[in-house]
Structure 1
Amino acid sequence: MRKLTGLVATALAAAGLAATTPSAHAEPSSLYAPSALVLTTANGEGPDAAIQRAVTLSCAPRATGTHPSPASACAELRQTAGDVQALLSSEDNRLCPMIYAPVTVSIDGVWQGQRISWRQTFANDCKRGAATDTGTLFAF
């Protein structure tokens, strides 16, 4: 969990937000509302899940970060006004083994000036792929 907190702090600093107490108001360093996110994939569920991959994504004023396709990922988020859940597939037509090996995907940070924290646990990596193979946001 400390690693994730450090990644979020790094992403927020890159977006021009000061590392302050949670009750303090962040001041952007530009005319653009900050959008800096940390996306992770972890084996397991809950706070003790072992993070396997993590990428950063900053969408304002331009798409940057360690995400392999930052421009496409930012465009997908803009289309849903930052609603990550809307980017998941509701179709369950992929045949997946009935093996419980939980995989947790999370997105934490700031989207257009508003703090977001999204987390979803899938029964296994096949189920995660079935739900998240809808675009480039989750392809990292």
Structure 2
Amino acid sequence: MRISAVGTCLALVAAMCSAGVAAGSAQARPAGATSLYAPSALVLSVGKGEDPATATIQRAVVLRCRPTPYGDHPDPVAACAELAAVHGDFAAMTAAAEGVACTRIWDPVVVTADGVWEGRRVTFAQTFGNPCMLRGSDTAGVFAF
């Protein structure tokens, strides 16, 4: 009888210890954290004008890339993949694509991106000479909305 009481006591201690470990692991995550991924959420806009501060916004979308791509963007999977390829560096995507011919009509278009990419603050603005030059740039997929 004494042996079964000791066994029961050990079982209770083991159960309390495993419950304590579970409770301790639940407390390891910071309060309010809902994901192990750094946030990636951006507001993208396209506007008419030369200056991002005074341009008339024509379109804007929200793009979230972590933990899965989603948002108002028509193709969030492709846009997130393009951004991931340059580690969220929009400036690396401003080169003109090969083989694209545009007129030299001055009809400026401004694109902006504000938000967070993999946990770091992002603010980007670029002016293109006209909509064709925007479509012909490497940023075309991200700002195709």
TM-score higher than 0.5: yes
Taking structure 1 as reference, are residues 30 and 59 closer, same or farther at Cα in structure 2, changes over 3 Å only? Answer: same
The answer as to 2:44 corresponding to 1:39 is: yes
The alpha carbon displacement at 1:86 in A equals: 2.2
The answer as to 2:142 corresponding to 1:137 is: yes
2:133 counterpart (122, 127, 132): 127
What SS does the aligned partner of 2:143 have? coil
The alpha carbon displacement at 1:124 in A equals: 1.1
Letter in 1 for 2:130: N
- Structure 1: 5+ residue stretches without partners: 1-26
The alpha carbon displacement at 1:127 in A equals: 1.5
Indicate if the aligned counterparts of 1:101 and 1:123 stay in contact, CA closer than 8 A: yes
Taking structure 1 as reference, are residues 28 and 54 closer, same or farther at Cα in structure 2, changes over 3 Å only? Answer: farther
User: Mapping of 1:67-86 within 5 angstroms?
Assistant: 67-86=73-92
Q: Deviations over 1:62-85 (max 9, x none)?
A: 111000111111111111111112
TM-score (norm 1): 0.72
Indicate if the aligned counterparts of 2:97 and 2:138 stay in contact, CA closer than 8 A: no
When structure 1 is superposed on structure 2, of 79-88 and 51-60 the one drifting more is 79-88
Supply the RMSD in Å over aligned alpha carbons: 1.9
Aligned length: 113
Q: Percent identity?
A: 46
- Structure 2: 5+ residue stretches without partners: 1-31
More helix by share: 2
